[in-house]
Amino acid sequence: MTKLARFSWEVLVYNLAVIALGAYVRATRSGAGCGAHWPLCNGELVPQAPSVEMLVEFSHRVSSGLAVLAVAALLIWVWRTCAPGHPARRTAAWAMAFMVTEAGVGAALVLFRLVADNASFARAWFMAAHLANTFLLLACLAWTAYHLTRQAPARVRRHRAAIVEFGLGGAVILLAAVSGAVAALGDTLYPAGSLAEALGAEFSGASHLLVRLRLLHPTIAVFMAVGLVVVGIRVGYASRGWSRTLGFALAGAAAWQVLVGLTSVLLLAPVWMQLVHVLSADLVWIAFVLLAIDRSTATA
């Protein structure tokens, strides 16, 4: 593996860490730690008397800024190293574009005060958009790393059936992830004291809409996971090389995600479990994206 390929995987892993820290900010209601200021923190470049919430939010901003620089460095390195027409050039450029929009959505959440205890439906929409953008960013980073890791550039096979199959699969995963973001917001804002209390609130017409929407996520997620396990095992047994490994990895990641989700429900979604849940969802998505790429590409 070349240094550039290794760096592309490191950028992907680093972004996963940044995403986990962002989930921690949301789960601990620390999003207002720097006030309604962006990119400054309470009007200061470096906070002088930070609270715990401010330190959490400021740390996330610093790590996000470094993520922007890492993706920019990856883009420059790819364009300086790879010949014109190499697919990694295009995917790295898209990764940079989604990184910019990622920063924009994050800034909007702060500037519009859609953080901390804000329970508006506008916040739910922004969270959904933030999650979808994050997944597209991860997809582009994974795609870039894939192209750089292969010994020869890959070209897309225009198999309509495969495009439709993986397109629908990707849409279902995004839907499950978006519903998960809304459910996590409901868990954060309206924590339950017991499992019975949580279930009662979800079926009560008097509960906030974010609480009643929590039921959508496990329903969608279970159907999605079953489909991914079946597809992963089928592809794993029918393929060789990367596709075989990625097929079984996808099946394992999907099964693990269901176990994590069930455990999170039983434990009433503690912060540490929410972080495991978020990272598990990211790994399912990355495994799916890499499998989709490998099944629809060929060595040029």
Same domain, 189 and 72: no
- 18 vs 151: which has the higher pLDDT: 18
Same domain, 164 and 100: no
Q: What is the average per-residue pLDDT within 206-223?
A: 88
pLDDT of residue 241: 85
- 123 vs 163: which has the higher pLDDT: 123
Residue 155 — pLDDT band, cuts 50, 70, 90?
Answer: low
DSSP class of residue 113?
T
Same domain, 191 and 121: no
- Region of poorest pLDDT, from 68-82, 120-134, 140-154: 140-154
**What is the spatial distance between Cα 249 and Cα 6, in angstroms, rounded to a whole number?**
20
Same domain, 172 and 240: yes
Give the domain-ending residue among 149, 168, 191.
149
* Count of domains observed in the chain: 2
DSSP 171-214: HHHHHHHHHHHHHHHHHHHS--SSHHHHHHHHT-TTS-HHHHGG
Single-letter amino acid, residue 93: A
Same domain, 170 and 274: yes
Asked if pLDDT for residue 171 goes beyond 80, the answer is yes
pLDDT of residue 161: 63
pLDDT of residue 145: 96
- 287 vs 205: which has the higher pLDDT: 287
**What is the spatial distance between Cα 72 and Cα 89, in angstroms, rounded to a whole number?**
12
pLDDT of residue 201: 86
Asked if pLDDT for residue 139 goes beyond 50, the answer is yes
DSSP 21-50: HHHHHHHTT-TTTT-S-SSSBTTBSS-SS-
Which domain covers residue 77, as residue numbers?
1-149
Computed over every residue of the chain, the mean pLDDT equals 90
Asked if pLDDT for residue 246 goes beyond 80, the answer is yes
Asked if pLDDT for residue 300 goes beyond 60, the answer is no
Same domain, 137 and 200: no
pLDDT of residue 9: 98
Residues 221, 273 contacting (CB under 8 angstroms): no
Taking only the tens place, the pLDDT of each residue in 175-214 is 999 999 989 988 889 988 888 888 888 888 778 888 888 8
Taking only the tens place, the pLDDT of each residue in 73-124 is 999 999 999 999 899 999 999 999 999 999 999 999 999 999 988 888 899 8
pLDDT of residue 299: 47
Give the domain-ending residue among 107, 125, 149.
149
pLDDT of residue 42: 84
